[in-house]
């Protein structure tokens, strides 16, 4: 088999397709580079690793300078990743996949592929997600659910720690300032919590007996059909925070929640978690997450 001629034909056909059928560029690129990667992998088994360098020199002269040794190795790596189980979605571009190739875990690649497709991420947005180590900040239980395709719940995709963008570089951080920072980039904060979260109000006013209290952030999750209370703490988690947020959750369930909506969940965002306190929290609707300011 003449591997070089096969590879050359694949790449030339792809160049022609991209010029004529703009709508199918992604599919043509990914299909071509997968096929080329497969041919390169087979050629390497017959002729050794040096064959890629040899082919790249000829392809650069005969087709395009972009078919250098580095890019050919990427195509081979792309083929090998897909063969190991990485999901191939034609909605993503080759530029998206180039960001994913350095990742070692197939599960991690598939997480970012699915997330990018579902959220229509640009290449830059996907790059930001990878740099923030979003997959690594998911709970192990969530990662196992993703592998087994088990149905997730509202709490599964909340990251830990939650990354909060301090765009204006506030130096002194109080709970009020932390709230202000979050509201200045609320879209990012909601994204850190996972899918389907919508902002309702900050400092949400409720009345218990003859006193007024204020919920730091009241959100709603349209995917899981439930209210979500977020309480912000700039200290280590304390046991009294559990009672506080539980009271607020019960208030929302009794006075705001409709019968067709699920029970309210509570998230305590704190500077440092305390696993010993959470061991004795019997309410599984409450969870705690640390935050990092960047």
pLDDT digits (tens, 9 = 90+) for 115-149: 999 999 999 999 999 999 999 999 999 999 998 88
DSSP symbols for 247-287: HHHHHHHHHT--TTSEEEEEEEEESB--HHHHHT---TTEE
Same structural domain for residues 159 and 189? yes
Beta strands in the chain (DSSP E): 162-164, 197-208, 211-221, 226-232, 262-270, 286-293
Q: What b/e readout covers 151-161, taking b as 16+ CB neighbours within 10 angstroms?
A: ebebbbbbbbb
pLDDT band at residue 172 using 50, 70 and 90 as cut-offs: confident
Sign of CA dihedral 282, 283, 284, 290: negative
In this predicted structure, what is the pLDDT of residue 78? 97
Report how far residue 237's alpha carbon sits from residue 271's, in angstroms, rounded to the nearest whole number. Answer: 8
Same structural domain for residues 248 and 225? yes
Residue 23 structural domain? 3-137
C-alpha R_g of the chain:
25
Pick from 14-23, 98-107, 226-235, 273-282: least confident:
14-23
Domain count, the chain: 2
pLDDT of 46 higher than 80: yes
pLDDT of 161 higher than 70: yes
Which residues are CB-neighbours of 258 under 8 A, at least 6 positions away?
Answer: none
Residue 50 to residues 89, 117, 215, 254, 256: CA-CA distances in angstroms? 31, 36, 64, 70, 68
Report how far residue 47's alpha carbon sits from residue 35's, in angstroms, rounded to the nearest whole number. Answer: 18
pLDDT, average across residues 59-88: 94
Same structural domain for residues 155 and 285? yes
**Tokens 């007024």 correspond to what residue?**
212
> Which of 109, 137, 165 marks a domain boundary?
137
Same structural domain for residues 84 and 154? no
């Amino acid at each position: 088999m003449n591997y070089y001629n096969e590879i050359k034909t694949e790449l030339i056909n792809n160049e022609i397709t991209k010029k004529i059928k703009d709508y199918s560029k992604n599919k043509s690129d990914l299909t071509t580079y997968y096929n080329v990667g497969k041919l390169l992998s087979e050629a390497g088994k017959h002729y050794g690793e040096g064959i890629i360098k040899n082919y790249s020199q000829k392809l650069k002269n005969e087709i395009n300078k972009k078919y250098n040794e580095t890019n050919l190795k990427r195509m081979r790596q792309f083929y090998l990743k897909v063969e190991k189980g990485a999901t191939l979605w034609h909605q993503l571009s080759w530029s998206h996949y180039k960001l994913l190739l350095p990742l070692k875990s197939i599960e991690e690649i598939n997480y970012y592929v699915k997330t990018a497709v579902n959220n229509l991420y640009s290449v830059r947005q996907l790059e930001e997600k990878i740099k923030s180590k979003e997959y690594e900040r998911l709970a192990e239980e969530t990662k196992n659910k993703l592998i087994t395709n088990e149905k997730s719940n509202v709490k599964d995709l909340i990251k830990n720690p939650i990354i909060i963008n301090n765009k204006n570089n506030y130096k002194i951080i109080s709970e009020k300032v932390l709230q202000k920072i979050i509201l200045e980039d609320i879209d990012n904060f909601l994204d850190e919590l996972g899918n389907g979260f919508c902002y309702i109000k900050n400092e949400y006013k409720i009345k218990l007996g003859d006193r007024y209290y204020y919920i730091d952030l009241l959100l709603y999750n349209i995917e899981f059909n439930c209210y979500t209370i977020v309480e912000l703490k700039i200290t280590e988690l304390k046991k009294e925070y559990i009672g506080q947020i539980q009271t607020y959750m019960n208030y929302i369930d009794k006075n705001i929640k409709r019968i067709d909506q699920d029970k309210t969940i509570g998230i305590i965002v704190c500077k440092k978690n305390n696993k010993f306190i959470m061991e004795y929290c019997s309410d599984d609707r409450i969870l705690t997450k640390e935050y990092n300011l960047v």
